[in-house]
Structure 1
């Protein structure tokens, strides 16, 4: 499932990034901004998927470490088996009554019982008010020495030996991938800057540039007057989008949603692209303008 998410997320990111470059090349800023926002959303989504995967692996490792620590702690808390009882442990009971210890020993036993009871009480109070931090710390230190889980898929033979040098082939592959990625990114930035920068236009032999525009509007209340007003608003907004100031630019209505515009002086190729991109990058509600044709015109 994660691979499917990576595939669709990568495809969406590649498509959005491609259209960002395309719309920037066409000087269509509104569409480029929308695609850029979509690209950011997809990148954040992919980053969230990667982070969730990392967090899941970290939680799994922490659970495995806690389980090992509990196993080591349980082993440390195991009590030793009581030693075998021998016949000589209570030898004083076999002594004759004339022994001078027949009175002292019972008193000593009673005192030992009382001291044992007091020690047991102190131990219970300490156990209720304190935690066995020393044992837990020791168990945490010893957990790294515990044998790996056989179900975890870790094979000791696959691990590199201690003190082994890093794989040079892997390092070279990573370095080559980084160099190629940097070169592609630099080429993209330089190419985009070269395509979108403002240049001095070459002088044209034509006197003017003519455009044929079509305005499409949605809605039942979109009359011819509204259509004409929208076309003129878009035309006036894009008059300052070229490097050459369009001081003489007229727009006439041909009917059926078609409009003819004439710009003097004639525009170069770069200014044509900028004017066309501005006109087709519609910023009005329920309005779409299409440049049907553009070309040069002479005095005739």
Structure 2
């Protein structure tokens, strides 16, 4: 169940974050704010699920510790409740022969300790430090050269008649653990580099898409728009549709980067309206004006930009 919650929460967070970027690119601020709030809610929910899981595991460990402590206390109380005569009953039976067991055990321990001491003495007197010599031979290649080696670079003064370079063959190979650590380090570096490259590409792509640039002016004199207003509810007359369209139109006149000297809106009937703005809008200003108009700010009103294009002075 927790994995299902993680899956749906991650999918919702990814979708909300994607649409935040999309709506910001389209200049639709209300929708971007709603998706941002949804993203925060999903993140808080995922954080709550993780914290609840951690708290549940901590409570389970505390209960296990309490149970083990109660078991230990119960055993200690059972031992304390036992009578003292039941522990060493064989000491209370004078007719038995078992009382000689302890002295015999002690004498046997003393004899075995003496025998072990004799064996250790014999081994230390007869053994040769073969392992130490072998280790010293392997480490000799790492030692600094002495005065005799400085005098004779070819190693003729070596009492054993061997060159130091020959000791390189006696060095042990690199262990599997070292190779494993190097492999993990290499994988971490590769994954980190790939992740940094992907994040950098994403940031540069978003910056390129959302950057405001100076664009060349259009050759046309004006830009025309065809709008459609849809209103939900009863008693939605043509006058109310016209009022809502003009409110949205006047609100979005200042959304472009260039001032609009003339912006008129006319009614075509059946919820359709035609607007003309001067001067002609660039591609970026078109996107800003369209995003503002479609980002509905009125209750029960939805405005759609059906079409947008350039218009000349001789167009009807």
TM-score (norm 1): 0.68
Give the corresponding residue for 1:59: 59
Structure 1 distance, partners of 2:75, 2:15, is 58
Shift of 1:8: 1.1
Out of 199, 210, 216, the position equivalent to 1:202 is 216
Shift of 1:172: 5.4
Q: Classify 1:217/1:12 alpha carbon distance in 2 versus 1 (closer, same or farther; 3 Å).
A: same
Q: Classify 1:177/1:75 alpha carbon distance in 2 versus 1 (closer, same or farther; 3 Å).
A: farther
User: Unaligned 5+ residue runs, structure 1?
Assistant: 89-163
Q: What is the SS of the residue equivalent to 1:66? A: helix
Give the corresponding residue for 1:242: 256
Out of 272, 295, 300, the position equivalent to 2:309 is 295
What aligned pairs does 1:176-215 form with structure 2 within 5 A after superposition?
176-215=190-229
User: Unaligned 5+ residue runs, structure 2?
Assistant: 95-176
Give the corresponding residue for 1:254: 268
Give the corresponding residue for 1:99: none
Give the corresponding residue for 2:11: 11
Structure 2 distance, partners of 1:291, 1:52, is 47
Shift of 1:177: 4.7
Shift of 1:247: 2.2
Give the corresponding residue for 1:278: 292
**Structure that is richer in helix per residue:** 2
Answer 1 or 2: higher relative contact order, Cα 8 Å, separation at least 6: 1
Shift of 1:32: 0.8
1:266-295: per-residue Cα shift (whole Å, max 9, x none)?
111111000000000000001000000000
What aligned pairs does 1:70-149 form with structure 2 within 5 A after superposition?
70-77=70-77, 78-79=79-80, 81-84=86-89, 86=92
Shift of 1:173: 5.0
Give the corresponding residue for 1:216: 230
TM-score (norm 2): 0.64
Q: Classify 1:220/1:290 alpha carbon distance in 2 versus 1 (closer, same or farther; 3 Å).
A: same
Q: Classify 1:171/1:55 alpha carbon distance in 2 versus 1 (closer, same or farther; 3 Å).
A: farther
For the Cα contact (< 8 Å) 1:17–1:39, is it kept in 2? Answer: yes
Shift of 1:196: 2.2
Q: Classify 1:56/1:276 alpha carbon distance in 2 versus 1 (closer, same or farther; 3 Å).
A: same
Structure 2 distance, partners of 1:22, 1:32, is 8
Number of residue pairs matched by the alignment: 225
Give the corresponding residue for 1:48: 48
Q: What is the SS of the residue equivalent to 1:221? A: coil
Structure 2 distance, partners of 1:273, 1:76, is 80
Give the corresponding residue for 2:245: 231
Question: Alignment RMSD, CA only?
Answer: 2.5
Structure 2 distance, partners of 1:168, 1:5, is 37
Give the corresponding residue for 2:34: 34
Q: What is the SS of the residue equivalent to 1:291? A: strand
Structure 2 distance, partners of 1:70, 1:176, is 51
Q: Classify 1:41/1:182 alpha carbon distance in 2 versus 1 (closer, same or farther; 3 Å).
A: farther
What aligned pairs does 1:17-28 form with structure 2 within 5 A after superposition?
17-28=17-28
